[in-house]
Structure 1
Amino acid sequence: METAPKKPAPVASPSAHAAAPRPLAGLTAHVAGTILTPTAPTPPPNTTQTGSNWTINQGVAVDSNRRRFGLELVNIALAAATHTQDAVACARELLGGKQLNITAKASAVDPVTVVDIFAQQRITEILRHQRPHDTVIGEETTSDEELPPADSEITWIVDPIDGTVNFIYGIPAYGISICAVDNTGYLLAGVIANCATGEVAYAWHGGGAHLVRRPQLGTALSTQHHPTTTANTPPANATVTDMVDWLNTTLSTPHHFGMVDQQATSTNATTLHPAHPATLAQALLATGFSYQSTNRKQQATLLTQILPNVRDIRRRGSAAIDLLSVAHGQTDCYLEHCLNVWDWAAGILIAAEAGAIVSLAPLDQRAEDNALIAVCAPSIADEFTHLLNTIPQHLTQ
């Protein structure tokens, strides 16, 4: 698949995020599998509510038409993710930790780089080349880009680099997250591509969850195709727009990258399954923290309730990669507040299709909504649910 050259999309500014519309308003995500559902119980008279009422329920049934459509969509998402995965790896080699034009978004510790913006544009270009009438929303899109077309059947939820802080510091846990959702809320296809390791995980409705390991092409590409010459040196004192234009020019040729080397039905993929810890006390918990200090206090308080009941915690700095770790059996459960929908949509679908038990949330969820995303291996589901129900409600909902 080749993408036609297009004029770069407008560069997002931090102010665009606060005003962005919610094209998925009113929809709750649906997946096939087993679901953790929080319900606020009615406390008896003259009592204080201390717990939640999380229950385990069955998700939607697999629909054969959605399964076929999901397979079509996951192949488009794989093309966008693997191409951009290579481009981001190449950009990291070219720029290192310099000339990233780092700016802040929601808080001083919530950064965005020129590579985030470049990656969002590249993903959007590929998706719209294949499906021009679909909506694309994401972490680095502007308000105008998020407005859904009147005939939009599919909305693509994109995080161009989940784990931007890791990307800046060179910590190998940052990746692309792409999810396709239909206009009734079904998560149909999802891809997470770790740009630092070459791993690509993907799932589609009723199709299971799978993982491939691709060659790490960043160093080879930046050396072979983009040697450090005057022409290929980033412009000095460049603005964000200048740097994005430079990246689009320098990394402009699609055949440099592995856009079609991976299909969802490939035989080189590994099927993903969660681990089988015998007890919650033997479970490894993945979690993360908000960029807002007040939210971090609540998250830390929640962890004081959880930590005595599990083996240990891991914090990778990317919600998408944390969710993938449960699907892959590298951790056993996951909890995190204050996520945006692009942080969890693809990861929840992959975890559910792998066989993990997942919670769902409104698809117009934003970090300020303070909802809790929870995932666990089936073998500890009863204990995990019981633990959530013993924790004060304001910490788990």
Structure 2
Amino acid sequence: MTKLDLAALLPQLVSIVQDAGELIVRNSTLPKDIRKKGGNDLVTETDVAVEEQLKHRLIELLPESKFLAEESSAQNTLGDLTWVIDPLDGTTNFAHGLPFVATSVALWGQGRPVLGVINLPLLREVFAASYGGGAWCNGEAIHVSTTSELSQALVATGFPYDIKTYLPEILNNLEKFLPRTRGVRRPGAAALDLAYVACGRYDGFWESALHPWDTAAGLLLVTEAGGRVSQYDAHEKYIPGDTGILATNGLLHETMSDLLCTEA
């Protein structure tokens, strides 16, 4: 990867993602053209339009870059100088008029995300991070929570689209965490969940069967905000696309990992 001025690129990326978010805002009150990609996995015309707008603008920003995008990529391969794009995370929420939707864009290079933006257009919040440059929400620096006791923690999770395959695991983990925490939330958009860990609203998050575009930007946000990300096993490095992700404020990481890795 050629040497990039990440500090200069980040505000340009934020502007590009915010502009695409306005398309989501405009379309949020219009009738939805909804189709299924499989099972309960939905796609709307807005998903496709936002992705196309992002790709057009991002290739202008970095002409030598490549794309790994949810609606147009045939495989989940992370390459050097690759934009990793989820145009509309939380499509089911969007289809039902819920505001918990996100656009997630990361720039992947040299084995890590180096830029990341998660825009919550209907909630008017933009989270941004650069490698080594910290994490921000609407221009204000953010940091993970300082909660150190699981009993005081608010945590989040998600449910894979292949619910039948993962139902035993989901129920097993809920049985572990519900009685041991202050609460478990499931908004239905992994990018939003990771942004909320980064800014301290959640103390931890776990989910299985996510794609690289779901987590690449959030991985950078959480780590730059002082948190920790791994596979369910705290000793296994997480690469977007791995089977399961655990993201926490760091203080709860080993505790949550132990629960996830232990049979009920």
Are 1:304 and 2:230 matched, yes or no? no
Cα distance, 1:153 vs structure 2: 4.7
The match for 2:256 among 381, 384, 388 is 384
Are 1:155 and 2:155 matched, yes or no? no
Are 1:74 and 2:6 matched, yes or no? no
The answer to whether the 8 Å contact 1:71/1:189 transfers is no
Asked which structure has the greater RCO (Cα within 8 Å, sep 6+), the reply is: 1
- What does residue range 311-326 of structure 1 map to in structure 2 within 5 Å? 311-326=182-197
Change (3 A) 1:106 1:73: farther
The match for 2:52 among 115, 121, 131 is 121
CA deviation vs aligned residue, 1:282-337 (integer Å, no higher than 9, x gap): 11111110111212332222221232222210111100000111111111110101
Are 1:140 and 2:67 matched, yes or no? no
Change (3 A) 1:119 1:305: same
SS of the residue aligned with 1:378? coil
The answer to whether the 8 Å contact 2:23/2:46 transfers is no
SS of the residue aligned with 1:78? helix
Aligned mates of 1:142, 1:387 — CA distance in 2: 34
The answer to whether the 8 Å contact 1:162/1:319 transfers is yes
> Where does structure 1 lack aligned partners over 5 or more consecutive residues?
1-64, 213-268
The answer to whether the 8 Å contact 1:162/1:174 transfers is yes
Are 1:171 and 2:98 matched, yes or no? yes
SS of the residue aligned with 2:251? helix
Count of residues paired in the alignment: 256
The answer to whether the 8 Å contact 1:73/1:188 transfers is no
Q: Which has the higher strand share?
A: 2
Are 1:273 and 2:143 matched, yes or no? yes
Partner of 1:361: 238
The answer to whether the 8 Å contact 2:229/2:246 transfers is yes
Change (3 A) 1:297 1:388: closer
Partner of 1:373: 245
Change (3 A) 1:352 1:154: same
CA deviation vs aligned residue, 1:248-289 (integer Å, no higher than 9, x gap): xxxxxxxxxxxxxxxxxxxxx111111112411111111110
The answer to whether the 8 Å contact 2:158/2:186 transfers is yes
Q: What is the aligned-residue identity percentage?
A: 30
SS of the residue aligned with 2:98? coil
Task: Supply the RMSD in Å over aligned alpha carbons.
Answer: 2.3
Aligned mates of 2:136, 2:33 — CA distance in 1: 35
Change (3 A) 1:353 1:142: closer
The answer to whether the 8 Å contact 1:69/1:188 transfers is no
SS of the residue aligned with 1:85? helix
Are 1:101 and 2:101 matched, yes or no? no
SS of the residue aligned with 2:51? helix
The two structures have a TM-score, normalised by structure 2, of 0.89
The match for 1:286 among 156, 168, 174 is 156
Aligned mates of 1:351, 1:147 — CA distance in 2: 22
- What does residue range 1-20 of structure 1 map to in structure 2 within 5 Å? none
Partner of 1:197: 123
Aligned mates of 2:254, 2:142 — CA distance in 1: 22
Partner of 1:88: 24
Q: What code does the residue aligned with 1:311 have?
A: R
Partner of 1:216: none
Cα distance, 1:70 vs structure 2: 2.7
Partner of 1:25: none
Aligned mates of 1:88, 1:137 — CA distance in 2: 20
The match for 1:207 among 133, 137, 146 is 133
The answer to whether the 8 Å contact 1:120/1:159 transfers is yes
Cα distance, 1:163 vs structure 2: 0.5
The answer to whether the 8 Å contact 2:17/2:117 transfers is yes
CA deviation vs aligned residue, 1:137-171 (integer Å, no higher than 9, x gap): 11111449x999xxx85100000000001111111
Cα distance, 1:381 vs structure 2: 3.2
CA deviation vs aligned residue, 1:199-239 (integer Å, no higher than 9, x gap): 00000000000010xxxxxxxxxxxxxxxxxxxxxxxxxxx
Partner of 2:62: 131
Partner of 1:335: 206
Cα distance, 1:86 vs structure 2: 1.2
